Structure 1
Amino acid sequence: MTDKMFMGASTKQGMDIATKSREIIRGLIGDDVKDLNPAERDIVERIVHSTADPEYAKLVHMSSDFVDVAMASLRNNETILTDINMVKYGITQYPGEVECYIKNEEVKQIAKQEQITRAAAAIRYAAQNDFEGIVVSGNAPTAVFEAMDLYQKCEMNVKAIVGVPVGFVGAADSKEALKNSNIPNIVVEGPKGGTPIAVACVNSLIQHL
């Protein structure tokens, strides 16, 4: 994998910056990622780059099957379903569909009728409309809980979950539950997370297609 792929650089100056950035990151987190395979290591490096926070190298946890299952889904051009539009817009160069239903009118009605968050309602709406692919949550722990619940009930064809919601209410709990589930997953332990982490993870996978 090249530094161009790592950083999206397209000029000599950009690639020089990418190379230097990679060297710095590897110097900071080398011990934390030494046991990961190249694809897993790239995900962690991208997350650290996107946040300028090497602590993430200690907080990221991937199930052993996450990369293989997620890559298979992406190679089949299955849908990437995000919890918020900010995550959707950050995912680039994917030939398949990237969807977010948070502003969908039917989703708003489901949320109102069921007294659940719109993020959870959007997951439910996707399941009712033949979703198949990867769920990506960078914001809403309720989206993670809903996707897990529907998966366990065999009501949603979730191949893998990127579960990195941020916050002090529900985020850590949702990620701990996901980490301990049988769903292929990547999580960031504790309250940290957010859009940059979710985007870095997915774009890293896409660059390996």
Structure 2
Amino acid sequence: MRPARTPFTGPFFDTYGIGFALYQPDRNNWKQRTVAGVSWNGLEGKAHFFNPDGLVLPLVPSHGELPAVLRLQRTRMEPAKVMGSGVFAMTHPAGDAVASSELSQWVTYWFVGSDAAYANSPEVWSAYVDSQVAAECKAAEHNYVDARRISHRAEQSTELPWQSSEHEQTCDGLSEWVRVNTEDCRRMLRAEYERECAEDQRVAAWLRGCAG
């Protein structure tokens, strides 16, 4: 029997709109909202997605697209195993308590390894901040030159030769311009880090059933 067509694209549907996503090496991955793996019953179309802490996520699987993702993106798999804990986990415990005939229908797949880096880590976030600040510094220098060029053209018609101190002003102004822009960048990134970490903590509490 062919499974019914799902009214969404992708390997799963984020029913609560939390922002659960597969691990992406070139982006910031927040631990509690990262799909680290899934326990999949291909015969019945049941799935228990879980994050790196093993908490089951409330995601609806796509019967049509999930198998391809399992084949292409898995890092390892283990037959006859069900992973996951928390309020969205299976209503009965996995392992010996599950009838062997039922457990044999399940396979657990992992999408990321235990060495995966997450933005929650201060070291990972610090490296990200350094890269963003370096990019902001270059952008500020480039933008300042353009702004000074426009300003200088407007001032040329009224400025007397002995009044010109463009080189000194440009150097001082550039340093201050870069300093202000990079400090703003660091401040915004610090606020983002605090906000995302707090959100991850709320999500973890909810998945564990501790939110109230």
Task: Judge same fold: TM > 0.5, yes or no.
Answer: no
TM-score after normalising by structure 1? 0.19
Larger fraction in helix? 1
Rg (Cα) greater in structure: 2
